[in-house]
Amino acid sequence: MRILGVSGSLRAASFNSALLRAAADLAPDGVTVEPYGLHDLPLFNADVEADGDPPAVTAWKDAIRAADGILFACPEYNAGITGVLKNAIDWASRGDPAPLTGQVACIVGASPGMTGSARAQDQLRLILRRTLTHVAPIGEILVFQAHTKIEDGQLKDERTTALLGSHFQRFVDEVRERRGRARA
Ligand code: FNR
């Protein structure tokens, strides 16, 4: 099973990208988390789209189509998702069928504040509902005070690691069930 790991932060020392690395380490046998960087995506522009997707957009859409599921690590900027992530979703919401349509997704998030990106995660759920992406109904991972739990890009907090591991396992189970149902 191939899970695409998508961080909404471009920051080298991103707490959210660190969560994706931790999830990759916790992945059950036979499951890989492949990080996908959003650095090269241009800003969405319908005029550009009308001339044909730029190569970076085609690569992004192909990566979504090739994946069995998407693990979003969702930072919070001003009580919402980052522009980087919204832009990437906007590109992937286009096409017939759009790459996000019918995909299975999981959301995690971290912030140095006390709410652990809760508001951004709620907003992301709403956006993904609009794109007909199935967000696994498996509860939330809100890594609050992330600077006390993630050091040098590594998740160090044992409780958070255990929660992330069981969350990820539930996501894998959900992907298996949905994919199995689609094949049946
Ligand atoms: C933030 N940050 C932030 N945090 C939060 O919990 N709620 C918020 O509304 C905001 N707003 C916000 C706006 C802007 C413009 C910036 C740059 C930052 C702090 C943010 O959570 C912090 O920078 C995280 O470290 C960002 O995630 P990464 O880059 O570590 O993954």
What is the reported pLDDT for 38? 98
Cα 17 to averaged position of ligand 1 atoms, centre (Å):
13
Cβ–ligand 1 distance for 133 under 6 Å, the answer: no
What is the reported pLDDT for 181? 79
Cβ–ligand 1 distance for 9 under 6 Å, the answer: yes
pTM: 0.97
Segment 117-158, tens digit of pLDDT:
999 999 999 999 999 999 999 999 999 999 999 999 999 999
Cα 119 to averaged position of ligand 1 atoms, centre (Å):
11
Cβ–ligand 1 distance for 11 under 6 Å, the answer: yes
Alpha-carbon distance of 7 to 20, in angstroms, equals 7
Going by C-beta distance under 8 Å and a sequence separation of 6 or more, which residues neighbour residue 60?
36, 38, 41, 88, 91, 92
What is the reported pLDDT for 3? 98
Cβ–ligand 1 distance for 174 under 6 Å, the answer: no
β-bridge pairing 150-151 and 154-155: antiparallel
Is the confidence at residue 95, as pLDDT, over 90?
yes
Cβ neighbours, 10 Å, residue 159: 8
